[in-house]
Amino acid sequence: MRWTPGGRSANIEDRRSSGLGGGGIRLGLGGVIVLFILSVVFKRDFFQLVNPTTGSIPVGSASRPDPTRDAREEPLVQFVSFVLDDAQNTWKRLLPSSTGVPYHDAKLVLFRDGVSSACGFAESVTGPFYCPGDQRVYIDLGFYDELRTRFGASGDFAQAYVLAHEIGHHVQNLLGIEGKVRQMQLSNPSAKNELSVRTELQADCLAGVWGHSTQQRNILEPGDVEKALNAAAAIGDDRLQRMSTGRVSPESFTHGSSQQRQAWFQRGFTSGSPAACNTFAQ
């Protein structure tokens, strides 16, 4: 991708130095479990009561602020800042004109090891995620190392695809799709996985819509699209299941197969239109 390193996005919240073990009240594992149960039962983020400033939960001494790693990750912070701002500026133009719904920015939270969100407590192993409750995307930048080394998906546009996918979930939230899907899953639990797959594939397609705009503005370089498609394939349910268990169980898919994820990203990329991303009509 063609981009110029610079400052940080105003929509980034950097919690890397205040993650697990980084300060505040120290909780044992039992304390974390109790707060998690309370959060689920009462549908309130009790973790915030422990550290309301950062929203993080220090557990023992699992991690410490790491200035060396922070410095090493700074170029990546600047890159995700560029992608975040570019994607959101694109949707500010595109969403009102195509749907009549105004767009407002999501926040991107950088964390390390674990983080508390309005959706509950999550560890880095969860991978990047979007929380509709607080309209924030959460990512441990170490995920990109895993994407490259474990899944063989390298390149800056592969990294951009991951973030654009999560912003796609924010678009779904603004359009009311996320809430409707949640209600459908509650009323028909047997369709929960299928609805999850359709939701994730739509986010892939919306990421492709943003990708289309970058091509129109000559931001892309040769091979970038292939890098994004490779990343989409790398995190398909079939490939992940085959890597972990040696077999594939389509009925347990939650994100879609490698082929599906590639196809829907490509559809959004080719069309450049959110209207092409109606995975629920297929």
56's tokens: 């993080």
Specify the pTM. Answer: 0.83
Count of beta carbons in the 10 Å neighbourhood of residue 36: 16
- Buried residues in 163-173 as b, exposed as e (16+ CB within 10 A): bbbbbbbbbbb
For residue 225 the two structure tokens come to: 């699209």
Nearest to 168 by CA among 182, 159, 158, 178: 178
Task: Return the pLDDT at 6.
Answer: 83
* Residue 27: predicted pLDDT: 44
pLDDT tens-place string over residues 51-80: 433 333 333 334 567 778 888 899 999 999
Q: How many helices (DSSP H) and strands (DSSP E) are in the chain?
A: 10, 6
Residue 166 has pLDDT above 90, yes or no: yes
Q: Average pLDDT of 110-124?
A: 93
